[in-house]
Structure 1
Amino acid sequence: MTDSIKVDLFVIGGGILGAGIARDAAGRGLKTVLCEKDDLAQGTSSRSGKLVHGGLRYLEYYEFRLVREALTEREVLMKNAPHVIWPLRFVLPHSPQDRPAALIRLGLFLYDHLGGRKKLPGTRMLNLRRDPEGAAIMDQYRIGFEYSDCWADDARLVVLNAVGAKEKGAIVVTRSPATKAVRENGAWKVTTTDSFTGETKTYKTKAIINAAGPWVSDVINNVANSKSKRNIRLVKGSHIIVPKFWTGANAYLVQNHDKRVIFINPYEGDLALIGTTDISYEGRAEDVEADESEIQYLIDVVNRYFKEKLNRDDVIESFSGVRPLFDDGRGNPSAVTRDYVFDLDETDNAPLLNIFGGKITAYREIAEGCLKRMKKFFPDMSGNWTENAPLPGGDLENADYDLFQDKMKRDYPWMPRPLRNHYGRLYGSRIAAIAGNSKSVEELGRHFGGNLYEAEVTYLVDVEFARTAEDIIWRRTKHRLHMSAEEQAAFADWFAALDTNETAKAS
């Protein structure tokens, strides 16, 4: 074991909260470590509904402040990450058996006006038998509503924050759980162990921020040997991916008899992402998966509204995530608050700040709140800065992705449109770091299937902390959905050999 690495702040958890906090802290001048036990976004933050939204249904539980703040943040994130966050129109068919139309109109009116909406179009009423958005809907549903929210590539949002943190001077370590944290003389001594190499490191830090999501209590009890009166409630949310079964770029939001609302979103061009469920979960967060009853539940909700019926064979992929919600004592998982709570333990003047709850849309604001609570311990750190700071690749002219696409056509006329859109949507203005001076697709290196070329793999390993084949084809990208099983296996074998060769060179 080497001597301790001295830092100011140690952030545990490489999901959206941890990555956002690390970037914010590093930008304030704090020497920061971001520590993740698995891959970035491997837990909850890559298993969401892929939306940046205010949470329309939270209005029903009188969460007006939460919705207002999320809607305000929606505008900020659209501006700072237009390559991975973009507008999406949602069609809400009205079912008179569920919520009254007047209640929906009121909710949508509030949704339009609570957060100072500037860029997105407002709500409009639809005649589902006449308007094209209703063509896929069963004839028994006559009226509907259309409103705006935003699509988000959740895992990339995490990775871009981690890249931004590193570029501000942070140390980012993945596959390296914090195994022990001990208070010593007004500071913390934190031990990490690399899961791949077995290498152990120690860090001496003034403060720890625990952003471990579903594992927040494990860090408190088993790593830091601390205590908290706060609790989290684990709620499982499952999604399915199927072939897209309607025309048009819009998404749908449908109501079910149990008052759940289900999102049906266009996904990866010709696919659809459907979810989510809300089920209390008692097991290990690492073991969560969508069960058959949840998959059938989502299929049944879709079939209640759409002319084209889904069956189990249509499900290409399913996934499930555990939401670490602050336990506010409510029995219904759907009613449990999506708000967040900070819990600060200042024992021996060595602070441990634990975060309970929170949602992806509010991550930047939560990060600012964390650093505000750290101000007394770091009086010289600078103030808020992220509101007007684009994420890596997000510095597009006027935050306009269409203008950027036009520029890409001029800069890379040889690049096929699907590949150009793939690079644009994932990497934005940093496409040159992958394509470089290439004049043809052949110059991008080995082709593994779909839109995956060797140049992108190299970039993801060198810049975006990818360490396994799955990191690349599932979290950094969604190539897995566009590659055959044979292509995926061949890529995994190639990557494993590459990793072995690089390890041999390093040793």
Structure 2
Amino acid sequence: MTQPGALSPAAREAAITAMTRAGVEGELDVLVVGGGVVGAGVALDAVTRGLSTGLLEQRDLASGTSSRSSKLIHGGLRYLEMMDFALVREALTERGLLLTRLAPHLVRPVSFLYPLTHKGWERPYVGAGLALYDGMAAVGGLAQGGGMGLPRHRHLTRKGVARIAPDFRSETVTGAIKYYDCQVDDARLVVTIARTAARHGAQVATRVRVTGFLREGDRVVGVTARDLEQGRDLEIRARVVVNAAGVWTDEIQEMVGGRGALHVQASKGVHLVVPRDRIRSDSGFIVRTEKSVLFVIPWGRHWIIGTTDTDWNLDKAHPAASRTDIDYILAHVNAILREPLDHDDVEGVYAGLRPLLKGESEPTSKISREHTVVTPVLGLVMIAGGKLTTYRVMAKDAVDAAGHSLRTTSNLSLRESITDKVRLLGADGFETRSNQRVLLARRSGLHVARIDHLLGRYGGLVDDILDLVTARPDLGVPLAGAEDYLAAEVVYGVTHEGARHLDDLLTRRTRISIETFDRGVSSAPVVARLMAGELGWTDETVSEEVDHYRRRVEAERQSQLMVTDQEADEARIQVTDLL
């Protein structure tokens, strides 16, 4: 029997069957297009309001923007400097909710040093901004019945900076201010939101591409789609379709004749991953650059360093990082380090696209992350913009907008959103299991550090993994070439988290593709064989998956040697997705 909320192969097929039957047995109330953080959030918001809900994603959950961010849950200090107080206050409130109530197993505090380089005016100026930042967080926390959940900022002298971060060039600063934000594995957050939506009754199907809209007069009444795995065409009817396609928003608008008020500019953000031992520091850094900001973010046994912020008008499915992008980041981080990094220090590189609402003539680093919801035609809601941290607010606003069509077409009264109270899967039991970490290690035979790793990925669902290891002891071993992960996590990724291809496991269910110097190539064969047992792959399919992954890695490496975006794109698109 399929566990509720498990995105298994059988659950995918059942979801497609349920959605296509909607035209016979009664329409879905809401159909969501897009399986990123906003789409998953809309599905969760809608289904927990009592609406029958479906979600379609053309590739994998979080396969676009939502797996390639800076992986921060934060208010956005630079928006505070832009005087965008409402956005910062909203984001800080959401940060507190995620940290203390909704996803404490996934969201965790991370400290940053904000270096000060000018004597006199800068310390009180930045200090006042961070005091306001902390104050907004505290007020937001109180409004939600809690606190800010993080320590307040504190001032450091130059010597204080040297103690915390020996590899930082402290002689170049007058001191720093240490403050706190939060981080999250963005792809894991999306999968968990989608699973939570499924747990509450939403139908979720990946590898299904929307090809058009069903119309009755001027009203949208559903979509036509293609199941990319089975090669079959589908019709799915719904009272309201919510488009949460991110950087593909303009293309979706073209399907309804170009009608719509949203125009999205894709902005490329590149990040580098280096081993933790390359930079000795107990805190991350945030440093102002001429175009944006530079983040150096602790990430387990690694650092994430980024980012760039440049227009991208090429392949949206696989944005490519160029040599120029990588050199830009290395140059900026080396300006603050005693021991410079070079290309040989880089374990992983990833590039993502931010779906920014297009301004008249603003550079992408200046365009606001605020979101907009529009209803270009009855029965169709479109949402774009925003940021990872505020996905829940975006989802609420989109479902609120869908309420108008629901009232017009079916006289359906929309209930208030309750997602500020709905804990994500794994949140329940997390605190208890964390207190029992030593006991769990003793019972399972795993090291306590391994239990901590599992708790940080699955929270209260850690029992699922441990039960799997008990039933199949061969799955309790680390993966060859990626010892941070257990073989059981691969199997679980297929049976419960919707992974369908090798790329899904190596780049999103785990982060092996960016956390190992070989980008996961040595792990690929063993991971593919584990997946084969759950998906019924033949030896030929296993070989095809491994070969495709190796070619994808090589294409990415080649793109990262190119100077221009055009050259990088041409190198990367040589390898397309497996269907």
TM-score higher than 0.5? yes
SS of 1:436 mapped into structure 2: helix
SS of 1:419 mapped into structure 2: helix
- What pairs up with 1:18-417 in 2 under 5 angstroms? 18-79=39-100, 80-96=102-118, 100-115=122-137, 116=139, 118-131=148-161, 132-138=163-169, 139-184=171-216, 186=219, 188-222=221-255, 224-244=256-276, 245-256=278-289, 258-267=290-299, 269-346=300-377, 350-376=378-404, 377-378=406-407, 379-396=412-429, 400=431, 404-413=433-442, 414-417=445-448
How many angstroms does 1:345 deviate by? 2.2
CA distance in structure 1 between the partners assigned to 2:66 and 2:489 by the alignment: 22
SS of 1:387 mapped into structure 2: coil
How many angstroms does 1:492 deviate by? 2.8
Contact 1:95/1:255 (CA < 8 Å) preserved in 2? no
**Percent identity among equivalent residues?**
32
- Show the counterpart of 2:531: 495
How many angstroms does 1:498 deviate by? 5.3
Larger relative helix fraction: 2
Q: Which amino acid aligns with 1:405?
A: S
CA distance in structure 1 between the partners assigned to 2:46 and 2:195 by the alignment: 13
How many angstroms does 1:106 deviate by? 2.8
Q: Which amino acid aligns with 1:152?
A: V
CA distance in structure 2 between the partners assigned to 1:29 and 1:126 by the alignment: 51
CA distance in structure 2 between the partners assigned to 1:441 and 1:485 by the alignment: 25
Moved more, 124-133 or 60-69: 124-133
When normalised by structure 1's length, the TM-score is 0.91
Contact 1:129/1:142 (CA < 8 Å) preserved in 2? no
CA RMSD of aligned residues (A): 2.5
| Cα distance change of structure 1 residues 340 and 121 upon mapping to structure 2, 3 Å threshold | same
- Show the counterpart of 1:431: 462
CA distance in structure 2 between the partners assigned to 1:200 and 1:282 by the alignment: 30
How many angstroms does 1:473 deviate by? 2.2
CA distance in structure 2 between the partners assigned to 1:113 and 1:228 by the alignment: 38
How many angstroms does 1:421 deviate by? 2.0
Contact 1:82/1:396 (CA < 8 Å) preserved in 2? no
Cα deviations by residue, 1:281-318 (Å, 9 ceiling, x for unpaired):
12121131111111111111111111121011111111
Contact 1:177/1:192 (CA < 8 Å) preserved in 2? yes
CA distance in structure 2 between the partners assigned to 1:225 and 1:503 by the alignment: 45
Moved more, 429-438 or 48-57: 429-438
Q: 2:507 aligns with which of 474, 488, 494?
A: 474
Moved more, 54-63 or 125-134: 125-134
Contact 2:490/2:531 (CA < 8 Å) preserved in 1? no
| Cα distance change of structure 1 residues 220 and 491 upon mapping to structure 2, 3 Å threshold | same
Contact 1:128/1:135 (CA < 8 Å) preserved in 2? no
CA distance in structure 2 between the partners assigned to 1:308 and 1:440 by the alignment: 48
Q: Which amino acid aligns with 2:211?
A: T
CA distance in structure 1 between the partners assigned to 2:389 and 2:342 by the alignment: 32
How many angstroms does 1:330 deviate by? 4.4
How many angstroms does 1:246 deviate by? 3.2
| Cα distance change of structure 1 residues 477 and 486 upon mapping to structure 2, 3 Å threshold | closer
Q: Is 1:485 aligned to residue 508 of structure 2?
A: no
Moved more, 232-241 or 371-380: 371-380
How many angstroms does 1:434 deviate by? 1.8
| Cα distance change of structure 1 residues 493 and 456 upon mapping to structure 2, 3 Å threshold | closer
Q: Which amino acid aligns with 1:76?
A: L
Q: Is 1:464 aligned to residue 500 of structure 2?
A: no
How many angstroms does 1:448 deviate by? 3.4
CA distance in structure 2 between the partners assigned to 1:26 and 1:425 by the alignment: 26
Contact 1:35/1:176 (CA < 8 Å) preserved in 2? yes
CA distance in structure 2 between the partners assigned to 1:119 and 1:207 by the alignment: 37
Contact 1:61/1:335 (CA < 8 Å) preserved in 2? no
SS of 1:283 mapped into structure 2: coil
Q: Is 1:422 aligned to residue 453 of structure 2?
A: yes
Contact 1:32/1:171 (CA < 8 Å) preserved in 2? yes
